Amino acid sequence: MRIFNKSKNTVIAQNASLADTFSTRMKGLLGRDEIPAGEALVITKCRSIHMFFMRFAIDAIFVDKDGCVIGLVERIKPFRLSPVFFRSESVIELKAGTIGVTKTSLGDQIERL
């Protein structure tokens, strides 16, 4: 699937995977050495993330049930916790630096295609 920022008319990720089961949500990006540019992992039912045992920093975009960006965490490093975004329905995990490159900001409308 693609992740599209309707507010900015930009593609955030060309190739996104969905983690929507207990096991895929728990695994997330663990065990990987990187997330390439243009790829993303969308984790459903997610209000915060942890970076325990991760090997690299990522960007995280938290989105509510209407597709509105309600939280941004740039370059979160391994062994850190993100803030909790209580209205979040899902999080999009991306290569570190993607939020800045795509100019994604709070209030933007995100669509999964």
Q: What is the pLDDT along the chain (113 residues), one digit of tens a residue?
A: 999 999 999 999 999 999 998 888 878 887 788 999 999 999 999 999 999 999 999 999 999 999 999 999 999 999 999 999 999 999 999 999 999 999 999 999 999 98
Structure tokens, 79: 């062994």
| Element spanning 27, H or E | helix 22-27
- Residue 100: Cβ within 10 Å count: 12
Query: pLDDT tens for residues 56-73?
Result: 999 999 999 999 999 999
**All structural domains of the chain:** 3-112 (2.60.120.1140)
In sequence order, the 6+-apart residues with CB closer than 8 A to the CB of 59 are 72, 73, 74, 75, 76, 93, 94, 95, 96, 97, 98, 99
pTM for this predicted structure: 0.94
